[in-house]
Amino acid sequence: MDNRSQHSAFPKPQFSRRPPSPAGGYRASAAERTRVLKYSQTTFHSAGLAQTRFVDLESERGGEPWRVFVHLPLGEAPAGGWPLLVMTDGNAMIATAVDALRVQSSYPAGTNVGPGVIAAIGYPTEDAYDPLRRSFDLSPPPGRSYPPFSEGGPQVLTGGATRFLDFVEGEALPFLDGLVPIDPSRRTLFGHSFGGLFALHALFSGCRAFSRFVAASPTIYWEDAGLLDSERRFVAASRNGELAIHLSAGEHEGATLAPFQYGRDDTEKRLSNARTARTLELTREMAERLSALPHARVSFEVYPGETHMTMLPIAVSRAVRTAFQVHVA
């Protein structure tokens, strides 16, 4: 069969491709069979990108669906399965990630990047972000309530990261594994801003579904920097197993703004917000602390000349490199 036509149509979910157990073949659980039967009726839609479709998945726990953008490589999977990159804020990330992967994986000798699967989880909207839902999904508990983003709008709630992580681990990953073989030892979680906060929350919560975590401009300060308590517990527990952590921030996420941001009506407000967030400082300090962990490869980058938002394409490229590197140094 022509793999190109097979993947352009996207395969239907199947039962897990786990290797047979010593006691005899693998048997799908009743819950997995129910989930696969449900997802087998799922319809993929074109995302307007090469080898990329999206599907709206509802959690078994109810609530609004998530839009999952899936990019599948061409050809047969490696013996251990494809590496996987899972991204938050999928609507905003998927195009940049797919382009970065297609370009870099086409020349592995010069990039050290090979093919793999991208799953970018977002929302059923044509906008880059859904501010209301991401505020809840990507922020750690216990959370708080805030005034509406606009007059007459709904109250903004936070604290739903554990629920969202349950969906990612318990539903999205099995769904992806039903599409193509995934290498469970090469799964990477990426997030930017609130997404970076979520990636670190997953790491510090003891999430074992991923072995690589990429947090770009994480909002560590959020809600009295409660994430730092989770970090302390995580460090004290000293997780076993190989782990890769990449943290980053833009040069202008510290005490100074980018040159174009001075002399504007909102300059003082931006300076005040930057001094409150202290993204560059807090991220650097966290990287230094985590570097002392055994079995962890921790890296930290400052992107020269970049702000919180302009650093995003670079950070996505780093996530692609982390997730799909052919040879690990």
Q: How many domains does the chain have?
A: 1
Residue 66 confidence (pLDDT) above 80: yes
Q: Taking 90 as the threshold, does the pLDDT of residue 116 lie above it? A: yes
pLDDT for 11 equals 62
Q: By residue range, what is the domain housing residue 263? A: 53-324
pLDDT band (50, 70, 90) for residue 10: low
Cα dihedral 59→63→69→75 (10° resolution) = 10
Average pLDDT over residues 100-123: 98
Query: Does 243 reside within a domain?
Result: yes
Question: Would 4 be classed as within a structural domain?
Answer: no
- Note whether residue 46 is domain-resident: no
Residue 167 lies in a domain: yes
- Tell me if 43 is assigned to some domain: no
Say if 35 falls within a structural domain: no
**CATH code assigned at 202:** 3.40.50.1820
Name every residue whose Cβ is closer than 8 Å to that of residue 82 and which is 6 or more positions away in sequence.
73, 115, 116, 117, 180, 181, 182, 183, 186
pLDDT tier at 41, thresholds 50, 70, 90: low
Q: Which residues contact 302 (CB under 8 A, 6 or more apart)?
A: 248, 249, 250, 251, 280, 284
Average pLDDT value for residue range 29-51: 68
Q: Please give the pLDDT value at position 25.
A: 39
Confidence class for position 217, pLDDT limits 50, 70, 90? very high
Q: Which letter, b or e, does each residue of 68-104 get, where b requires 16 or more Cβ atoms within 10 Å of its Cβ?
A: bbbbbbeeebeeebbbbbbbbbbbbbbbbbbbbbbeb
Asked if residue 234 belongs to a domain, the reply is: yes
Within a domain: residue 264? yes
Flag whether pLDDT at 328 surpasses 90.
no
